[in-house]
Amino acid sequence: MGLDHLVAWADRGVVPPHAAPLELDNNTANDGSRLTLDANGNVKGGVRNTYVDVPAAAYGVPNAGATPAAQFNCSIAGWRLAYDAPTLNNLYKNKGSYISAVNRRLMELVREGWMLPEYAEDVRADAQAIDITPPGKR
Residue 73 resides in a domain: yes
Q: How many C-beta atoms surround the C-beta of residue 41 within 10 A? A: 17
Please tell me what DSSP assigns to residue 22. Answer: P
Residue 136 resides in a domain: no
Residue 98 resides in a domain: yes
Which structural domain range is residue 25 located in? 20-128
Residue 97 resides in a domain: yes
Give the pLDDT band (50/70/90) at residue 62: low
What is the end-to-end Cα distance of the chain in Å, rounded? 39
Q: How many domains does the chain have?
A: 1
Residue 8 resides in a domain: no
Residue 82 resides in a domain: yes
Residue 90 resides in a domain: yes
Q: pLDDT tens-digit profile of 95-106?
A: 999 999 999 999
Residue 118 resides in a domain: yes
In this predicted model, which residue has the larger pLDDT, 52 or 27? Answer: 52
Say how far apart CA 61 and CA 34 lie, in whole Å: 10
Q: pLDDT tens-digit profile of 38-59?
A: 888 888 999 989 999 999 998 8
Q: Kindly report the pTM of this predicted structure.
A: 0.80
